[in-house]
Amino acid sequence: MRRGLLLSLSLILSFSLSAQEYRDLAARAFDAAQHDSLEKAEILFKQALEKEPTNIRNSMLFSNLGTVQQRMGKIDEAIESYSLGLNLAPQSVKILLNRASLYLQKDLLDKAYIDYCNVLDVDRKNEEALLYRAYIYTRRRNYKEARIDYNTLLQMLPEHRMGRLGLALLDQKEMRYREATEIFNRLLDDDPNDTAILKARANLEMEMELPDMALLDVNTVIRLTPNDAEAYLMKGDIYLILKKKKDANKAYDKAVSLGIPRPEVLNRMKQQKN
């Protein structure tokens, strides 16, 4: 009896010490992550997971480990950590969204799509999942489904900038030029200095064969951000359309000086000629 009691006490003490070490390692890992000691945080999270591999809190540790690895640029390792976290908590919206964003980063659209669908199964009004699933639908040319997700998002959040921009670009793809123009105009009414929207509207205007209007928008971008290489690239394209080859070459040279590879410029010039 005494031996049995001593053995039980020994096991309890062992489990207690193990649990305390697990908590200490996890706490130190969180602290290291918050202070940007990412390599240290990664090591400590792994040590905590090894200490108690069956702990019910490990989904949270795997999630945080994945985030640390993502910040370190270890994308594949981060995906694996998020996946292990999801094995323990399959409906975790946070982990699903984090893994989906990495799948998108790697252009693994099918895998990202599944994660976003799983998020929306749990939370039908999740703004991030609606936005990026709509983006994936657009990439797949499933425009009807993309429009449904954008409209759902904008019904909830009518002023959502990325949702409005996505819908405008979708309208452009479907050649609903008037609707796209109206959305771009409203976005620029909200912020006339939004260079991303100005460039998007310039692209639309070029597609609508309105190069003079496109040039006005691109010049506004250059005035606001003089080192915007993409804007000079667009300016070169517009000048070629306007048959102003000398001005086009000058704009292209500026784009190259700002970091655009010369072969890319030559390729664009060939496309414009065709």
Model pLDDT, residue 273: 63
271 belongs to a structural domain: yes
270 belongs to a structural domain: yes
Instruction: State the DSSP string of 58-121.
Output: HHHHHHHHHHHHHHTT-HHHHHHHHHHHHHH-TT-HHHHHHHHHHHHHTT-HHHHHHHHHHHHH
Model pLDDT, residue 73: 96
Closest CA to 111 of 130, 136, 94, 92: 136
CATH code (residue 271): 1.25.40.10
Contact (Cβ atoms closer than 8 angstroms) between residue 242 and residue 272: no
226 belongs to a structural domain: yes
Model pLDDT, residue 18: 60
**pLDDT average, residue stretch 53-71:** 92
Give the model confidence (pLDDT) of 137-196 as tens digits: 999 999 999 999 999 999 999 999 999 999 999 999 999 999 999 999 999 999 999 999
Mean pLDDT of the chain: 91
Give the model confidence (pLDDT) of 86-99 as tens digits: 999 999 999 999 99
20 belongs to a structural domain: no
**Structural domain total, the chain:** 1
Q: Report the b/e string of 31-68 with b at 16+ CB within 10 A.
A: ebbeeebbebbbbbbeebbebbeebeebbbbbbbbbbb
* pTM: predicted TM-score of the whole model, two decimal places: 0.86
Give the model confidence (pLDDT) of 199-244 as tens digits: 999 999 999 999 999 999 999 999 999 999 999 999 999 999 999 9
Confidence at 102, pLDDT banded by 50, 70, 90: very high
105 belongs to a structural domain: no
Contact (Cβ atoms closer than 8 angstroms) between residue 120 and residue 129: yes
246 belongs to a structural domain: yes
Q: Is the pLDDT of residue 85 over 70?
A: yes
Model pLDDT, residue 36: 83
Confidence at 266, pLDDT banded by 50, 70, 90: confident
Q: Is the pLDDT of residue 111 over 90?
A: yes
Amino acid at residue number 45? F
12 belongs to a structural domain: no
- Domain range for 266: 210-274
238 belongs to a structural domain: yes
